[in-house]
Amino acid sequence: MSTLLRLATAGSVDDGKSTLVGRLLYDSKSVLADQFDAVERVSRDRGLTSADLALLTDGLRSEREQGITIDVAYRYFATAHRTFILADCPGHVQYTRNTVTGASTADVVVLLVDVRKGLQEQTRRHLAVASLLRVPHVVVVVNKIDLVDYEQATYARVSEEVTAAARSLGMPDVQTLPVSALEGDNVVTRSQHTPWYDGPSLLELLEGLSSKGDPDAEPLRFPVQLVIRPQSAADERFRDYRGYAGQVASGVVRVGDPIAVLPSGRSTTVVGIDQAGQELDEAFAPQSVTLRLADDIDISRGDLIAGAAEPPELTQDVDGTIAWLADHALRPGAKVLLKHGTRTVQALVRTISGRLDLDATELRPADTLDLNDIGHVKLRLAAPIPAEPYVRARSTGAFLLIDAHDGTTLAAGMVGDALLATATV
Amino acid sequence: MTLTPSRELTQLQWLESESIHIIREVAAEFERPVILFSGGKDSVVMLHLVVKAFWPAKVPFAVLHVDTGHNFPEVLRFRDDTVERLGLRLEVASVQDYIDDGRLRERADGTRNPLQTQPLLDAIAEHRFDAVFGGGRRDEEKARAKERVFSLRDEFGQWDPRNQRPELWNLYNGRHTPGQHVRVFPLSNWTELDIWQYIGAEKIELPPLYYAHDREVVERDGMLLAVGPYSPAREGETVTTRRVRYRTVGDMSCTGAVDSSASTVEDVIAEVAATRITERGATRADDRISEAAMEDRKKEGYF
């Protein structure tokens, strides 16, 4: 049974993302015959001489009409070593929110750059998104290397340019490689056209990346989703059953562990860990389990169970970095909902303390945040939450801002000063 | 499934964990969820996950089946047995009723798949279901590949693929206004092979037609269609008995069988791992109509 790696593609429009994904799927033999036949047929209808691999992922009618990617397409492929979930994200600035969607769950961002164009504004934006979201790995594919006759000097210049931009955003070790997605150079197999490149192909690189953090090194965080109380169970044994269902967000929980419940602050110990009828001795992130506790204390959805040794602090004042994803601008004084873990509370946007200037990669003063802006805000909450800095805890430092009236998701939020943290790394 | 001692989940354990998390979020955040259940393998796996998510409590949702009237009898029997075994409340939205009283008309091509949309939407409105679990998987089809796990539907049941909510981390946003509802796809990240490996690992029972059996079929448009009361052989077609199984189960008139000798889960896993044709490409006539057939149906409120 293999393990999973989640990747997201990013990059400016026309950098060839969908073509790369198509190539990755095709050369790893993950495209089935009828899918390829359909692509060949449509390509032929459009007067193309060879199959346009981008058609494998651009699935919406309007995407095919416009030849662009509008929303994330999820694709699945496997090699002998690994299973991959791939989020093929759009390049247009207008659809950055969809790229944020794809990157938020990724272990790796594969960022494409057209070797002829070098670093674009969208490249910077996507690097900033990957940096902010703390995506564990970033791989930069310098694409269309065939169009500059596989010149090492051109590749080296673009590679250095992107690496420097990544460094300024707090990502010291991004990997770059020369690729032609169209011709298949260095995608699945190493290319003979780039003898000066002695690194792995993209797929080899992806197969070797580590996908998970180390649960043993992280504190236990377990947001309670719901209380399971089968009062009417036919089985007598479960009449008094009371369990707290959730997914371990970080760390490890063992039977006998002392825990604290937030926000009440009460403490007790774990007496049982159930997984659908099977009793476990321990559970770790990201397992979905049900915990039984020694004392009958008041716990409900929205509470957080944490290791007693290092519970997070509660706060009603959250400084956060947000990626604003709504069409209308955010202004100070806005009242919104904040979803953190399994808890949703009202929030007031007290101040907008700055907006990221992508060229200078620094925070500039701002009164509003517009669609796709990344900025820093101060929030006052109607009730305290156990907020932890996102840079330390990706799973418990994340939040959503939601429109209370129509339910729209307004922003991806990260507790703490993620921007300054990146600038000072 | 048994756990490995290492602190990394296998892909099946990871998928199971994600699905159970999604299912529990729905139970916590919605008033009246319902599970779409057809007796097909994906909905059977989904229901299995729902049972696991709430153990030892009972499943807190009703079950809805949109019955085209052309279903395989053994699948309907399986549906009823399952519902009874788990003590669930089954609602059936019947396409046949709509045809009988004139609200829907039979299509010229005889397929009833697109006719399911109206009874589905009516049932959702009538029962005021606010969350509707579907067994759709993103690997099935290119429009499905674009859909969120929590997918908002407007008051007409429509999906707007160009304007989907961002879906961040595992923080699902189920907010909606009155009249809207949310389709939830807990199996979004599963592939056909994952489903079969899980069925094997968890020893999940399926309707028998998923395994090789002898059946009278005709060849039509490159597919093997069962000969039965709703799908008679047409003039000039030759009826033959072949060893087949079904990769998907739907309306008898447009769901094709594939030649197969796979009679156990292990055989099927080996067959699926080696196949060169997608599940829907091999078995669904209705998706061959156009490049965007599924997208068009989904925009109107289809599964």
Decide if pLDDT at A50 tops 80: no
Q: What is the mean pLDDT of chain A?
A: 90
Pick A158 or A54 by higher pLDDT: A158
Interface A-B, measured as beta-carbon pairs within 8 A, has a size of 194
pLDDT of residue A25: 85
Interface test with A, best of B12, B54, B139, B168 (most A CBs within 10 A): B168
pLDDT of residue B5: 45
Q: Which residue has the tokens 């950055």?
A: A96
Q: Which residues contact B176 (CB under 8 A, 6 or more apart)?
A: A407, B130, B152, B182
Q: Which residues of B are less than 8 Å from A337 in CB distance?
A: 175
**Which candidate, A193, A183, A129, A122, places its Cα nearest to that of A155?**
A193
Write the pLDDT tens digit of every residue in A281-293: 999 999 999 999 9
pLDDT of residue A363: 84
Residue A112 backbone phi and psi in degrees, to 5: -95, 140
Q: What CA–CA distance (Å, rounded) separates A12 from A99?
A: 11
Q: Give percent of chain B above pLDDT 90.
A: 69
The one-letter code for the residue type at B263 is: S
Pick A394 or A381 by higher pLDDT: A381
* B271 vs A: CB within 8 A: no
Interface test with A, best of B175, B176, B177, B190 (most A CBs within 10 A): B175
Domains of chain A with CATH codes: 3-208 (3.40.50.300), 215-307 (2.40.30.10), 315-424 (2.40.30.10)
Mean pLDDT is lowest, of A98-102, A174-178, A278-282, B41-45, for A98-102
Decide if pLDDT at A421 tops 80: no
How many C-beta atoms surround the C-beta of residue B108 within 10 A? Answer: 6
| For A410, nearest residue in chain B (alpha carbons) | B166
Mean pLDDT is lowest, of A100-114, A157-171, B4-18, B29-43, for B4-18
Mean pLDDT of the region A407-424: 79
Q: What is the band of B149 on the pLDDT scale with cuts at 50, 70, 90?
A: very high
Tokens describing residue A304: 């957080």
Mean pLDDT of the region A390-419: 91
Helical (H) or strand (E) element with A379:
strand A374-385
Determine whether the interchain pair B165/A104 forms a contact, defined as Cβ–Cβ distance below 8 Å: no
Write the pLDDT tens digit of every residue in B97-130: 999 999 999 988 778 888 999 999 999 999 999 9
Q: Quick check: A136 and A120 in contact, CB under 8 A?
A: no
Determine whether the interchain pair B28/A246 forms a contact, defined as Cβ–Cβ distance below 8 Å: no
- Alpha helix locations (H) across B35-141? 41-54, 73-86, 95-100, 117-126
pLDDT of residue B290: 61
Mean pLDDT is lowest, of A17-26, A291-300, B16-25, B280-289, for B280-289
Instruction: Give the B window 281-300 contacts with A, CB below 8 Å.
Output: 281-282, 291-292, 295-296
Decide if pLDDT at A214 tops 70: yes
Q: Quick check: B257 and B283 in contact, CB under 8 A?
A: yes
**Which candidate, A7, A244, A248, places its Cα nearest to that of B7?**
A248
Q: What is the band of A38 on the pLDDT scale with cuts at 50, 70, 90?
A: confident
pLDDT of residue B4: 42
- Alpha helix locations (H) across chain B? 11-29, 41-54, 73-86, 95-100, 117-126, 192-202, 265-274, 279-283, 293-299
Mean pLDDT of the region A227-248: 86
Tokens describing residue A288: 């979905």
pLDDT of residue B293: 75
Candidate from B57, B142, B291 with C-beta closest to A233:
B57
Interface test with A, best of B30, B59, B169, B189 (most A CBs within 10 A): B169
Give the single-character DSSP code of B221: T
Determine whether the interchain pair B11/A70 forms a contact, defined as Cβ–Cβ distance below 8 Å: no
Q: What CA–CA distance (Å, rounded) separates A30 from A47?
A: 25
DSSP letters of A45-94? HTT-SS--GGGGT--SHHHHHHTS--S-EEEEEE-SSEEEEEEE---SGG
Candidate from A73, A100, A252 with C-beta closest to B146:
A73
pLDDT of residue B14: 95
pLDDT of residue A419: 65
Write the pLDDT tens digit of every residue in B188-247: 999 999 999 999 999 999 999 999 999 999 998 888 999 987 788 888 899 999 999 999
Fold of B11-193+293-299: Rossmann fold (3.40.50)
Write the pLDDT tens digit of every residue in A126-148: 998 999 899 999 999 999 999 99
Q: What CA–CA distance (Å, rounded) separates A234 from A62?
A: 53
* B189 vs A: CB within 8 A: yes
Domain ranges of chain B: 11-193+293-299, 208-287
pLDDT of residue A1: 56
Candidate from A60, A85, A225 with C-beta closest to B25:
A225
Write the pLDDT tens digit of every residue in B56-76: 999 999 999 999 998 999 999
Q: What CA–CA distance (Å, rounded) separates A398 from A132?
A: 11
Instruction: Give the B window 191-210 contacts with A, CB below 8 Å.
Output: 191
Give the single-character DSSP code of A35: H
Tell me how far apart the 2 most distant CA atoms of chain A are, in Å.
75
- Alpha helix locations (H) across B127-264? 192-202
Give the single-character DSSP code of A185: B
Q: Which residues of A are less than 8 Å from B143 in CB distance?
A: 59-60
* B169 vs A: CB within 8 A: yes
Determine whether the interchain pair B56/A238 forms a contact, defined as Cβ–Cβ distance below 8 Å: yes
Decide if pLDDT at B284 tops 80: no
Decide if pLDDT at A206 tops 90: yes
Q: What is the mean pLDDT of chain B?
A: 90
Q: Quick check: B133 and B33 in contact, CB under 8 A?
A: yes
Q: How far is CA A118 from CA A50, A157, A378, in A?
A: 27, 8, 36
Determine whether the interchain pair B57/A228 forms a contact, defined as Cβ–Cβ distance below 8 Å: yes
